Structure 1
Amino acid sequence: MAEPAEKTTAAPPADGVSEEAPPATATARGFRFLGEDKSVHKALGGGKTADVLMWKDKKMSAAVIGGATVIWVLFEVVEYNFLPLVSHVLIGTLAIVFLWSKATIFIKKSPPDIPEVQISEDLAVNIVQALRTDINQALGLLREIALGHDLMKFLGLMVALWVLSEIGSLCDFLTLVYVAALMLHTVPILYHKYQDKVDDFAGKAHVELRKLYEAFNAKVLSKIPRGPARDKKHE
């Protein structure tokens, strides 16, 4: 009688993780705002701006928040006007540098080294190209919504504009910009920290919204008469 074949067991990998077991992130996570393989940092562009918004460059992030807070306090709390503020800052800066330059003649020290600041052509072109891309995408989205290609985007835009108008009636533009700056520096990092919990809650809300939309579509939208479909043009 032949002996039973010996069972061979594969040696565990060096890192102690089974090759057959899928990674923890590959398990069913359901609905995800940014997609399965997209991080918050990548969604924000993945560059220096994303580093600032995600507090990877803490000094720059703190400087942006501090500067925005100072500007908001000066214009909203102290009620400084823009032109007087700029004029006073320039007067003070130029006076200090001018007196410092003159004082170095008497104390026999080298004058202050003021670097020559110029905007390079590449920087200006990159800024214009980035703005052009964003503006074209926004115009394309508005055109798609206006042509009625996507009802969900249309309803979402209407709700967003209504909410924006309500917020604008409660506060002025500068306060709105300041609140937006604070949210840009807090919401991404908080979402990154609690991403699984937020996605789980958003997934449940998404399912309920889909049910409501399907019911609304079946009872109302599907009963709206439409014109005859046009034949597609053949090349």
Structure 2
Amino acid sequence: MAEQSEDSGRTTETLMEKISEKIHAHDSSSSSSDSDSDNEKSAAASVKAKIYRIFGRERPVHTVFGGGKPADVFLWRNKKISAGVLGTATAVWVLFELLEYHLLTLACHILILSLAVLFLWSNVHTFINKSRPRIPEVHIPEEPFLQVASALRMEINWVFKILRDIASGRDLKKFLVVISSLWVMSIVGSWCNFLTLFYIIVVLLHTVPVLYEKYEDKVDSCAEKVMKEIKKQYALFDAKVLSKIPKAAFKAKRV
């Protein structure tokens, strides 16, 4: 009996040892798999961080455009609103540019049509129901206009601050970029009038961001090559032209 009890005790000990070994093996494999997954995540994050993005962008395109309703419109999150805005801009451009319609003429024609429809509807309603219809009153709320004016004021002040920083002469590279951009805009403005230019900007805002979001990686790789070439040419220009400008004498005169 004693021997049987000893044998049973040994078998239970061996079973417990086997179970503990399996648990330890499972824990070690799970920990190794967790460490492998962490290593893969860190490697993916490092690779993602090394990817070149236009203008040093680290956020999604939707966040860059503000992340609100304007971003939804530009990126076609709501296709009905985006198509409506683009269709309205196209209709305005066709009316005033292709058909050579004038704003005052259009406003007068719209008012004539509206007043005629309301006048006829009021008389028909009086003839049928023997009572005058109630035409709703139209009031323009004050708060949206104040919000738009405040937003425009902030944007204009931001532009003035940037122009002041550029004019202070601290960053020659930024000065050259802004001057060249304004020169290109002046050339484009001489090709077409303000309405056509505004319509082109609207079309670009409704096409370029959504296409860039779709083909983001390909565009960024091409942009990286272009920026490397631009930096190379700027370095040559700096070595041959800008470095030869007598800055010390200019500073002495200012002092």
Summarize the Cα distance change of 1:25–1:76 in structure 2 as closer, same or farther, 3 Å threshold.
farther
Residues 35, 135 of structure 1: alpha-carbon distance in 2 compared, 3 angstrom cutoff: same
> SS of 1:38's equivalent?
coil
How far apart in 2 are the matches of 1:101 and 1:30?
66
Distance 1:119 1:162 in 2: 40
Specify whether residues 112 and 53 from structure 1 end up closer, same or farther in structure 2 by C-alpha distance, changes over 3 A only. farther
Residue identity opposite 1:66 in structure 2: G
Whole-angstrom CA distance in 2 between matches of 1:174 and 1:217: 39
Post-superposition offset of 1:113: 6.1
**What does residue 22 of structure 1 align with?**
41
With the length of structure 1 as denominator, give the TM-score of the two structures: 0.84
Q: Give the deviation of 1:112 after TM superposition.
A: 6.4
Q: Distance in 2 between matches of 1:117 and 1:166?
A: 43
- Name 1:162's counterpart in structure 2: 183
Residues 145 and 181 of structure 1: CA distance in aligned 2, closer, same or farther (over 3 Å): same
Displacement of 1:123: 2.0
- Give 1:110 shift: 8.6
Is the CA contact (8 Å cut-off) linking 1:41 and 1:50 kept in structure 2? yes
Residue 66 (str. 1) matches residue 66 (str. 2)? no
Kindly provide the amino acid, as one letter, of the partner of residue 152 in structure 1: K
TM-score of the superposed pair, with normalisation by structure 2: 0.78
**Residues 1:118 and 2:127 aligned together:** no
Give 1:136-155 correspondences, 5 Å limit.
136-155=157-176
Identity of aligned residues (%): 44
> Which residue among 209, 218, 221 is the counterpart of 2:239?
218
Gaps of 5+ in 2: 1-23
Query: How far apart in 1 are the matches of 2:81 and 2:121?
Result: 29
Instruction: Tell me by how many angstroms 1:168 deviates.
Output: 1.6
Aligned residues: 223
| Partner of residue 193, structure 1 | 214
Residues 44 and 50 in structure 1, CA contact (< 8 A), matched pair in contact too? yes
The one-letter code of the counterpart of 2:239 is A
- In structure 2, give the amino acid aligned to 1:193: K
Q: 1:36/1:174 Cα in 2 relative to 1: closer, same or farther (>3 Å)?
A: closer
Q: Which has the higher helix share?
A: 2
Residues of 1 paired with 2:118 and 2:56: CA distance? 53
User: What is the CA distance between 1:134 and its match in structure 2?
Assistant: 0.7
RMSD: 2.7
Q: Secondary structure of the residue that 1:9 maps to in structure 2?
A: helix
User: What corresponds to 2:156 in structure 1?
Assistant: 135
Gaps of 5+ in 1: none
1:202 aligns with 2:243: no
The structural deviation recorded for 1:228 is 4.6
